[in-house]
Amino acid sequence: MGGEVWVFVESVEGAIRKVSLELLCAADGFSKEIGGPVGAVLLGRPTDSALENLRSYADRVYLAEDERLAAYTSDGYTLALASLVRKHGPAVLLAGSTSTGRDLFPRVAVRLKTGLIPDCTGLAIGDEGRLLATRPIYGGKVFCQVSIPEASPQMATVRPNTFTLEKMNKRAEVIRDTTGLEGGEIRQKVEGVEKTTQEKVDVAEAEVVVGVGRGIRDPGNFKAVQDLADALGATIGVTRAVVDNGWWDVNDQIGKSGKNISARLYFAFGLSGAIHHVLGIQTCKTVVAVNTDTNALIFNYADYALVGDMMEVIPALKEEITKMKDEV
């Protein structure tokens, strides 16, 4: 079938979001099967270094530069992205399953009269060069394999950490293109962002996550958890119970009513393993569970099970990891 494979690229404070680069790495493989170049779409005003970095991951960078696209709005970004797609007609359009990707792509899909496979945990090219996506449904109790058989472009959002980020050495040409904002209106006005949680990467994107449940007993104990997270370069995630007790912000809640995570390494401390939580950690690679209860359900979902008190284990673990790092 042929055609370009595009990735909608997100940047945060001048830096390209990791999931966007992961998708560009995956797109490189897809493009070989489909037989077209990889295009990275960047809207707004990137820094020179961000643009330079992006060039090494794509064959073409489509850049719609405009002050009105500096902050994300669904109206502005839908106008700009839909206009670029109409003009260049890529075969595939991918984005990270992030707050922006999941907000923007449904709207763009409707405008372009195509389909969208949201929140994929696996993606490949199937017969006739069409996307073959895997995604969890019913919170991950079942997965399904889906495709968009007819419409174009084939759109999908993909969870962070689904693909491995590798260094690439392309030299994309930068195509400065129209913004599509003419004749449209941006109705939302962004006032700013209030940071509510950690400075580190978001829990949904983090490679290492330290998960904490009710076993923390007192919010004062988060200091020790933070020390461990710092030693690991990890982000803290919490269970519903911890949020409902008012001990931590909802932004870092893992599970059915919170976020799904796909960490490379997940520590589950003092959490029982309620279905609500377990559904959110299914695509994590290695899971370590620490719980005082020998029969805790979480042990059924873990790769390593340690029976013990999290408040005893956490500082010891932090010490061991620091020691290990000093040795290296």
Which of residues 182 and 327 has its CB atom nearest to other proteins in the complex?
Answer: 327
Question: E strand or H helix at 76, and its extent?
Answer: helix 74-88
Nearest approach in angstroms of CB 271 to other proteins is: 15
Residues 6+ apart with CB under 8 A from 147: 117, 126, 130, 131, 132, 133, 154
Answer for which of 182, 189, 220, 223 binds other proteins (CB under 8 A) is: 189
- 69 vs 271: CA distance, rounded Å: 42
Contact assessment for residue 164 and residue 22, using Cβ atoms and an 8 Å cutoff: yes
Site string for other proteins, 257-296 (x = CB under 8 A): xx-----xx---------xx--x--xx-xxxxx-------
Which of residues 39 and 115 has its CB atom nearest to other proteins in the complex?
Answer: 115
Q: Does the protein bind other proteins through residue 118 (CB under 8 A)?
A: yes
DSSP annotation of 221 reads G
Answer for which of 143, 177, 226, 311 binds other proteins (CB under 8 A) is: 143
Site string for other proteins, 200-239 (x = CB under 8 A): -xx-xx--------------------------x-------
- Of residues 51 through 70, those in contact with other proteins by CB under 8 A are none
Q: Read off the tokens for 81.
A: 């992205």
Which of residues 149 and 219 has its CB atom nearest to other proteins in the complex?
Answer: 149
Answer for which of 44, 136, 211, 237 binds other proteins (CB under 8 A) is: 136
Of 199, 218, 219, 222, nearest to 210 (Cα)? 222
Of 203, 206, 214, nearest to 291 (Cα)? 214
Nearest 5°: phi and psi at 313? Answer: -70, -40
Helix (H, G, I), strand (E, B) or coil at 62: strand
Size (the chain), residues: 328
Answer for which of 187, 218, 246, 295 binds other proteins (CB under 8 A) is: 187
Answer for which of 3, 44, 140, 215 binds other proteins (CB under 8 A) is: 140
